[in-house]
Structure formats: structure tokens, C-alpha cells
Amino acid sequence: MQTIIQSLSENVQIIYRKSIDADHIISRLQQDGKGKFSAIFAKDAGFKTSSRLFKPYVEELANEVLALDQQDQETLKQQLPQIVKKIELILKTLNQFQKTAR
């Protein structure tokens, strides 16, 4: 399981780097009067966070991955699918955003 947690952590690091660039673009668009939205993800996307920037979502995800080290095997197995789903959703959204922002 430690290998899985390490892999998830590496994905979070990739997401974090991409989110910095994306948040910079979002801030610039909002200063120009564009990008008028209240949250990146819908309330039913699985995140507790609601933000116009990616960073708060990445922080939530990173905290969840860090907490996996303290979980027993059964709890870990229950939480993994939700965390993987969040990683996929953030990566997909970041990649789509980067394509359209160019």
C-alpha cells in the first residue's frame, strides 16, 4: 500500500504544479472581466471545497492523501476510489483548461 500512497503523492505534486499556472491564468482572466464563475467544480463533484481557483481543491486532495498513512487497510481501501476519482477529475479539468486557455 505504501507504493500506492507514494504514487498518489506524486500525482498530487504534478497537479499542484499545473494548478499554479492555471490559477495564474484564471486570476488574469478575472482581472480582465472574464472568467465569471463561482466554482471550478460542481457541488456534487466530491469536494468539500468550493473555489474559483484550483489551489484549494489541490490542498484538500493533498490532505486526504497525507491522511492515508494513518489509516488501517480497510479504511484505506474504502477511501482510495474516491481519491483516485478526484485526481482524475482535477487532471482532466486542468488539461482541458490549459488547452482552451492557449
Q: Record the cell numbers describing residue 43, joined without a space.
A: 457541488
- The phi-psi region of residue 46 (left if phi > 0; otherwise alpha if psi is between -120 and 50; otherwise beta) is left
The domain spans of the chain are: 2-101
Q: How would DSSP label each residue in 27-64?
A: HHHHHTT----S-SS-GGGS-S---SSSHHHHHHHHHH
Instruction: Give pLDDT, residue 38.
Output: 85
Q: Record the cell numbers describing residue 75, joined without a space.
A: 479504511
Instruction: Give pLDDT, residue 36.
Output: 78
Q: Record the cell numbers describing residue 102, joined without a space.
A: 492557449
User: By C-alpha distance, which of 76, 70, 73, 57 is closest to 12?
Assistant: 57
**Tens-digit pLDDT string for the chain (102 aa):** 789 999 999 999 999 999 999 999 999 988 888 877 889 999 999 999 999 999 999 999 999 999 998 999 999 999 999 999 999 999 999 999 999 887
> How far is C-alpha 65 from the geometric centre of its chain's CA atoms?
11
Q: pTM for the whole thing?
A: 0.91
- By three-state DSSP, how is residue 3 classified? helix
